[in-house]
Structure 1
Amino acid sequence: MSKRPVIALLAAPETSASVLYGLYDVLFSVGAVYPDMVAGTPGEELLDVRIVSEDGNGFHCLGNVPVEPHAAIDEMSGPDAMPDAVIVCDLYTSIHATPSGRYPHATAWLRQAHANGALVCSVCSGALLLADAGLLDGREATAHWAYRDMFGRHYPKVRFRSDSVLCLTTEADRLVTAGGVSAWHDLAVYLIARFCGYRHAIETAKVFLISGHSDGQSPYAVMTRPMDTTDAAISDCQAWIANSYDQPNPVEAMVSRSGLNARTFSRRFRAATGYAPIDYVQALRIEEAKQALETDSLPIEEVSVAVGYEDAASFRRIFKRRVGLTPAAYRRKFQRLSQIAGPTGGSRPAIADAPRAGSAST
């Protein structure tokens, strides 16, 4: 029998147990579990899956879950010991943190593994480690949507795809990044197909009921901009628009409120928030509309008017562009989730009484 492909799962104390052990269970089962389930005869394991860490010592990951690595990364170095693929599991990082330089030994190993021909992958915030290693410079990549601004601040050479669940545009460069935490499902299916063939990928997906994230990340993304506190005029406008986004001509109103000319206001607003003023208003309106669509039964035309769009066709067009789904499709998707969750003991407040999407708490 030929040597099984080796897949190394790089983990650290900031890693989620669900990602690490989920990947391990699924990849470890390839070739073995499906025939046992359908014919009663276990098959042969097709992948050699190993958990690795910087020093190889045991540790506890998020939730105080114990992890006993199979090896230290130094034990998997050199042309004869390098894995065929490396997956950097998620490494939880606050969106306000400075991610650079946290794992210098691991980033050096990732560069070496990639140079020696390994496929290098990441899940969620694990992409920060690939970016810190310089492997994503000039390339597209994805991670959880909440890290979009962090990539812009610390890794501006990376073309961040906040809409993507599995970024395969750099596949030819042996780099694949997966979005949010549960995007490891999509990555696992991709890796099984790549190393073991399409049939094994389908069979494993059937065993674990994996269906992928065909809608991408955009339907799940939330506006997470904190209130700016360094520019008083812009901060005041942010506070005002959080409760007035449904007003007519809101950008003109903010310019007037700031006492600045339009060009200066636009420049300072973008510097403080990262958004052009009209994009900021649209983001607030769409975020509020999403909250209504998730649980309310108001007609879409009424939701449109309630968030500031008199023209329902314009609302639908802008919503689809920003969210990736039509308002009706978004409602179906998330109201199904609310049905699964069951009654919560209370109804959602009406739009006028709901928490504002642009408040400082977001």
Structure 2
Amino acid sequence: MIVLLAEPETSASVLYGLYDVLLSAGAVYTDMVAGTPGQELLEVKIASADGKAFHCLGNIPVEPHAAIDDLDRADAVIVCDMYTSIHDVPTGRYPREAAWLKRLHRDGALVCSVCSGALLIAETGLLNGHRATAHWAYRSMFQRNYPKIAFRNESVLCLEAEGDRIVTAGGVSAWHDLAVYLIARYCGYRQAIETAKVFLISGHSEGQSPYAVMTRPMASEDGPISDCQTWIADNYAMAKPVERMVARSGLNARTFSRRFKAATGFAPIEYVQALRIEEAKQMLETDTLSVDEVGVSVGYDDPASFRRVFKRGVGLSPSAYRKKFQRIAQIARPLEVH
């Protein structure tokens, strides 16, 4: 049995997408290709804290099959996304659910999450000492509030804690990858392939990095650092930007680096590189400049250096990134009327 844990903060697309795909394993493919419905291979239930009907995000109605305390066993439980602001740590928000997850995990269940659902698993302590993923926007939150967890913001499906029966999936649509993984685990590889064909699920082989956008919370409590953040936002392409920020702050280099990292989650040079790459990404998505011209525009006179830094941060070369997002632009851009 696979249990989907949902709350009012859950996205309907994640909850009902997972439910539909997992429940279809074994049943739909043969019906589509041979006209003979197969047998459902997975028992899937939706659960909430009290089991009562509620509305999730978008005011979509949800009628759980059970309350969590009515389910004392499961092969796997998936914590669906539970939207949380990147500034609002959900500490203590779900005590009953956290205790229930720990109990099921202790009794042998595989514990999984999608997107911000990883925050609830983090609250249980089960992820301490492990690598895990969630949506890339939660990188800084994990670093600040869950330092015992190695956050993998580039991963779509993190299996590095699989040996301890924990699997985490990245952004909201990463439920596709998690669903295919679970079908393969419990029903076999062939069933996973057939289900993927039914739903046109191709996975996210390039990871999250091409989609990630730099989050930049301002260091409002540290005036010199906040001032430098404001300054570098418009001056990232200048030569020796870190030296200029150190001089601007009035701090010595070591103190500046320590306070900057504490306030932003980035080392100063990493912050500058992230700003440059973020601007380069936007230019590659929309402009017609060559890759080398884009590199120069954001502060890299050496084309090889620009390509190396871009590939390390994004997971794709600048040319591959441009090709990927120009395809999306072609789909999204309205047809021009002549």
CA RMSD, aligned part only?
Answer: 1.1
Q: Which residue of 1 is the match for residue 209 of structure 2? A: 218
Change (3 A) 1:344 1:225: farther
| Aligned 1:120-269 pairs, distance under 5 A | 120-269=111-260
Q: Which residue of 1 is the match for residue 281 of structure 2? A: 290
Q: Secondary structure at the match of 1:120?
A: strand
User: Percent of aligned pairs with the same residue?
Assistant: 74
Q: Which residue of 2 is the match for residue 30 of structure 1? A: 25
Given that residues 46 and 196 in structure 1 are in contact (C-alpha distance below 8 angstroms), is that contact kept between their aligned partners in structure 2? Answer: yes
What is the Cα deviation at residue 344 of structure 1? 8.3
What is the Cα deviation at residue 128 of structure 1? 0.7
What is the Cα deviation at residue 30 of structure 1? 0.7
Change (3 A) 1:298 1:267: same
Q: Which residue of 2 is the match for residue 356 of structure 1? A: none
What is the Cα deviation at residue 271 of structure 1? 2.2
What is the Cα deviation at residue 250 of structure 1? 1.1
Q: Which residue of 2 is the match for residue 331 of structure 1? A: 322
Deviation string 1:30-87 (CA, Å, 9 cap, x unpaired) is 111000000001001100111011111000000000000011111111xxxx111101
Q: Which residue of 2 is the match for residue 57 of structure 1? A: 52
- Structure 2 counterpart of 1:187, which letter? L
The aligned length equals 336
What is the Cα deviation at residue 295 of structure 1? 1.6
What is the Cα deviation at residue 318 of structure 1? 0.4
Deviates further, 259-268 or 151-160: 259-268
Give the unaligned 5+ runs of structure 2. Answer: none
Q: Secondary structure at the match of 2:217?
A: coil
Change (3 A) 1:344 1:152: farther
| Distance in structure 2 (CA, Å) of the matches to 1:43 and 1:59 | 32
| Distance in structure 2 (CA, Å) of the matches to 1:111 and 1:21 | 25
Given that residues 100 and 154 in structure 1 are in contact (C-alpha distance below 8 angstroms), is that contact kept between their aligned partners in structure 2? Answer: no
| Distance in structure 2 (CA, Å) of the matches to 1:326 and 1:202 | 29
The question of 1:40 aligning with 2:24 is answered: no
What is the Cα deviation at residue 98 of structure 1? 2.2
Q: Secondary structure at the match of 2:93?
A: coil
- Structure 1 counterpart of 2:183, which letter? I
Q: Which residue of 1 is the match for residue 292 of structure 2? A: 301
TM-score, with length taken from structure 2: 0.97
Q: Which residue of 1 is the match for residue 265 of structure 2? A: 274
| Distance in structure 2 (CA, Å) of the matches to 1:127 and 1:236 | 33
| Aligned 1:87-106 pairs, distance under 5 A | 87-106=78-97
- Aligned residue among 15, 18, 25 for 1:20: 15
Deviates further, 97-106 or 313-322: 97-106
Q: Secondary structure at the match of 2:319?
A: helix
TM-score, with length taken from structure 1: 0.91
| Distance in structure 2 (CA, Å) of the matches to 1:49 and 1:19 | 14
Given that residues 141 and 177 in structure 1 are in contact (C-alpha distance below 8 angstroms), is that contact kept between their aligned partners in structure 2? Answer: yes
Question: Runs of 4+ in structure 1 displaced over 6 angstroms?
Answer: none
Q: Which residue of 2 is the match for residue 10 of structure 1? A: 5
| Distance in structure 2 (CA, Å) of the matches to 1:293 and 1:229 | 32
- Structure 2 counterpart of 1:212, which letter? G
Give the unaligned 5+ runs of structure 1. Answer: 1-5, 346-362
